[in-house]
Structure 1
Amino acid sequence: MSVTPKILVAGSYGVSTRYVVDRAPAAGETVIAARVGTDHGGKGSNQAVCAARLGAEVTFMTALGGDHSADAARALWRTEGVVAVVEEFPASPTMSGAIVVDRSGENCITVGLGAMADLTAEHAAVTDAIAGPGWIAVVQNEAPVEYTFEVLRRAKRNGATTILNPAPAFAPDQLDESLWDVVDFVLPNEHEALALLGVAGDNRPGDAEEIARTLARRTRSTVVITRGARGAVISDGVTVEARAVDAVRAVDTTGAGDTFTGAFAVAIGRGADVGDATDFANRAAGYSVRHAGVINGLPRASDLTPIEWRTP
């Protein structure tokens, strides 16, 4: 399809410090990293850059502090062709994170929200000037929930299709049932899906297919649960479908979920049905995990095998 998707991403930018280790430290243990590096990060920024590289027209709403990281962020977005709408908080630092990557490519992440924590629902008002019919609006959970939910409400009211990537996982007391009236797609991993259901891992309601169906009914949305090397599961609350992925050797899984979300938004914006959108997003994520570092692993359209889109 020749349609250029129009995508609004509202979310975080941060600078991440990446530590490559043989294994992640246990509680109370110190581990020496084999390699250390810094990179652009933040789930929202990663998703915005991914969507832009895959050919979308992207506007990114975020918050920055009064530091050199803010300058680096603006340079990144200029290079990648992302239109940035920035709330500036000079007294706060720009968001930052620490990423520990072990020899299998798995990661654990700690984030300091910095300026992102200063956002309020009032800052979401700019959504009205951006998202409308034909737009895809994407949010995550690295900003205050009142801001995130207000972006969704305004985007949906204005006729946009909305995507919630509930990462990091929501706490049960963060959620308002009215949120589900303004969400079209929910893209969690398995841990995040269970968190949305308010259950612990050892009390899970069956297998991934049943979790997807239960969550879709709860949220009244189309749910796509990402499962890494095991593919993804899609449910609209009635039907359930598993989508497989090609086996790849993972070097670094950091940013795979962001890549999936950005690519999924692009596919939906081009009119793909949810199955094709999931397949395209899985291919993008598969490309991502074969590369060290997040920005380095975000694919361009030429990096991915084309697929024939099917419309819903």
Structure 2
Amino acid sequence: MPTTSPTTAPPTTATTKPTASPTTAPPNTATTTPTTMPTTSPTTAPPTTATTTPTTMPTTSPTTAPPTTATTTPTAPPTTAPPTTATTTPTTMPTTSPTTTTTPNLPEPPREVSVTSQTSESVTLTVALPTDCDDCGSVIVKYSPTGDTTRKSSTCHPQSCTIESLSAGTCYTFSVYTQGSGVNSTAGTNTTGCTLPSRPTSLAVTNRTMASVTLTVTPGDGGLDGYRVSYNGGGIYDNRNFTDTSSDTPTLLISSLTPGTTFTFNVFTLANGLESEDNYGTQASTSECFEIYYK
């Protein structure tokens, strides 16, 4: 009995109290607080933001946001909208308009066509356009020698329409069509015009008497109906026409002249009521009087 009581009661109470209070409170509070706060707060609180933000934010933001937005947005709108609208509109409009405007623009034929001048190689026409054709700026002339079916064509201005490279001393039929807005009148206005004949290419005096001179003519190219001889000398001024063209080198006898007188002769070619614009000239003298001797 005496051995058991004193050993158990006192030592247990005194040792437990002092050891638990000082050792657990101070060391545990100092170590736990700094370790827990920095680990959890770096994402939310100020100290962690300064260190973590520069590394995480710049890397994630530029890489993810710009590429995704730039690639997706521009590709979709331009591909679908523009091609569909542009292709449909122009195809329908041009096809319908030309067909409707062509028919009303057919011009009327010229009101009048007249020959204003001619040479041995050309004829000039003046054309009176229809009054209701504001777009008519030119005419088409189809022509051929009268009686010939082979026709040529030429485009010219209505106020002075010259048809060139024609044959001398020849009459032509001209059919003139109005041209406006790229289309021609369905009918033409006809007229006839003739070129001037060519002048003779040579002239020779082949005989002389006291009162006459005989001329031999070499004609020029193209058609002809005869010649007109204009002559003067010794106070005589006169003209004579010759219509015999059966010979290739016709002879023209000028009579009733003054003996022993020098005359100037100019020969013109005639064709279709027109005369060559030039002539071939020469001079010749009649013979003097002869003395008669009687035995």
Please state which band the TM-score falls in when normalised by the shorter chain: under 0.3
Normalising by structure 1, what TM-score?
Answer: 0.19
Bigger proportion of residues as helix: 1
Bigger proportion of residues as strand: 2
- Larger relative contact order, structure 1 or 2 (CA cutoff 8 Å, min sep 6): 1
Structure ID, larger Rg: 2
